[in-house]
Amino acid sequence: MSIGHTLLGLLESGPRHGYDLKRAFDEKFGHDRPLHYGQVYSTMSRLLKNGLVEVDGIEAGGGPERKRYAITEAGITDVERWLATPEKPEPYLQSTLYTKVVLALLTSRNAADILDTQRSEHLRSMRILTDRKRKGDLADQLICDHALFHLEADLRWLELTAARLDKLREAVIR
């Protein structure tokens, strides 16, 4: 996820302080990985330097001065371009799991055990996500569906690999 573009998009509704941006980000996108304040302010500093935001005001308080940021026309154009650009699908051609299975075969370890252990972990994660989806709002349901569909694809791969383990052993041990 592009944090910079996300913060810019949040600024389109109006100027905000860094604290407000962090809170809005965490509420909408950061359920599992909230932003650190340092990440917000370093990103805002970079966006300011690149002319994508401007300081809309500075407020003095009990602590350090609070800058209020506003998106510029260049920032709006940048967000529009980012939103219109499709994400590159991740083909997972460098899978750690595949590497573990092949290394197990190459070292005469039990690759089926690795697949079984991974299957159990996937199923555990799916139960957690399904429970979260059941209790969540629409946004949470959609993000859980996205993760569940990926886990389902992984499970299909685990089953296919388990069924072809003998052939894979022959292919890698040649």
CB contact at 8 A, 148 and 129: yes
Q: How many CB atoms lie within 10 A of CB 69?
A: 25
CB contact at 8 A, 157 and 119: no
Q: What pLDDT is attached to residue 94?
A: 66
Q: What pLDDT is attached to residue 93?
A: 65
Q: What pLDDT is attached to residue 1?
A: 64
Tokens of 36: 């650190």
Q: What pLDDT is attached to residue 17?
A: 93
- The model's pTM: 0.73
Residuewise pLDDT in 10s, the chain (174 residues): 689 999 999 999 999 999 999 999 998 888 788 899 999 999 999 999 999 999 999 887 767 778 999 999 999 999 999 999 888 877 776 688 999 999 999 999 999 999 999 999 999 999 999 999 999 999 999 999 999 999 999 999 999 999 999 999 999 888
Count helices and strands in the chain by DSSP H and E runs:
8, 3
Q: What pLDDT is attached to residue 66?
A: 87
Q: What pLDDT is attached to residue 31?
A: 77
3-state secondary structure of 12: coil
For helices 37-49 and 3-11, angle between their N-to-C axes, nearest 10 degrees: 80
